[in-house]
């Protein structure tokens, strides 16, 4: 089962839960859907630096936090989190920061 299929199944299940079970169950399903949606990678929002045209700031598409810098000239990415992982440190969104993806 893919992440998207799991999300769709949970959303279908949620309608039945709201009728037959306590609201805590529906809230738990909402929380699970939100967590699964954050695992689906999205392309960051890219902003060009006005002083250095080769330097780009990368922003989370979900919360807008600056998540890293991309130097287009030397083709390097420096993420602003401790592990240099492609994940937003503020909201947990998976970010697709592959060089090929950014250059599209």
Can you give the residue ranges of every domain in the chain? 3-38, 45-102
Q: Decide if 68 contacts 79 (C-beta within 8 A).
A: yes
Tokens of 46: 């890219």
* 3-state DSSP of 3-64: HHHHHHHHHHHHHHHHHHCCHHHHHHHHHHHHHHHHCCCECCEEEECCCCCCEEEEECCCCC
Note the pLDDT tens digit of each residue in 26-82.
788 888 888 898 888 888 888 887 788 888 888 999 999 988 888 888 777 777 776
Q: Which residue has the higher pLDDT, 17 or 37?
A: 37
């Amino acid at each position: 089962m893919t992440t998207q299929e799991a999300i769709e199944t949970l959303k279908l299940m949620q309608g039945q839960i709201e009728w037959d079970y306590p609201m805590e169950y529906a809230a738990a399903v909402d929380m699970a859907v939100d967590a699964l949606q954050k695992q689906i990678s999205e392309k960051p929002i890219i902003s060009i630096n006005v002083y250095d045209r080769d330097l780009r700031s990368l922003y989370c598409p979900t919360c807008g936090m600056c998540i890293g810098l991309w130097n287009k000239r030397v083709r390097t990415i420096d993420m602003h989190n401790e592990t240099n992982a492609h994940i937003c440190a503020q909201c947990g969104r998976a970010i697709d920061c592959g060089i090929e993806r950014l250059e599209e």
